[in-house]
Amino acid sequence: MSEEFRQLMPILIPGVAILLSIMVAAFLDLRKQTVTRGPKWMWAVLICIPNLIGPLAYFLIGRKEE
C-alpha cells in the first residue's frame, strides 16, 4: 500500500461504514413498507447506487406515509 492510501484509511473506513449502515437501514425499511411512491424494485435499485443519493432519495421521497 502506498503511504497516501495509509493516510486516508482513518477517513475512508468510517465513511464506508456509515454508507453501508444507511444502505442497510434503507433496505430494511423498504422491506417493511407496504406503500411506496413508485415500485419497490425501483427503490431497491436506487438504494444500491454506491453513494448517499440512493438511500437518501428513498428516505426523503420514496417513503409514503400510511
Residues 6+ away with beta carbon under 8 Å from 9: none
Distance of alpha carbon 11 from alpha carbon 54, whole angstroms = 22
**Could you report the per-residue pLDDT of 37-62, keeping only the tens digit for each?**
889 999 898 888 767 777 777 788 88
Query: What confidence tens digit (pLDDT) does each residue in 2-11 have?
Result: 788 788 888 8
What pTM did the predictor assign?
0.69
Q: Among candidates 36, 31, 17, 27, which has minimal Cα distance to 54?
A: 27
Write down the domain spans for the chain: 3-62
pLDDT of residue 51: 72
Average pLDDT over residues 11-37: 89
CB-neighbour burial class of residue 47 (10 A; exposed 0-12, middle 13-18, buried 19+): buried
Helix (H, G, I), strand (E, B) or coil at 49: coil
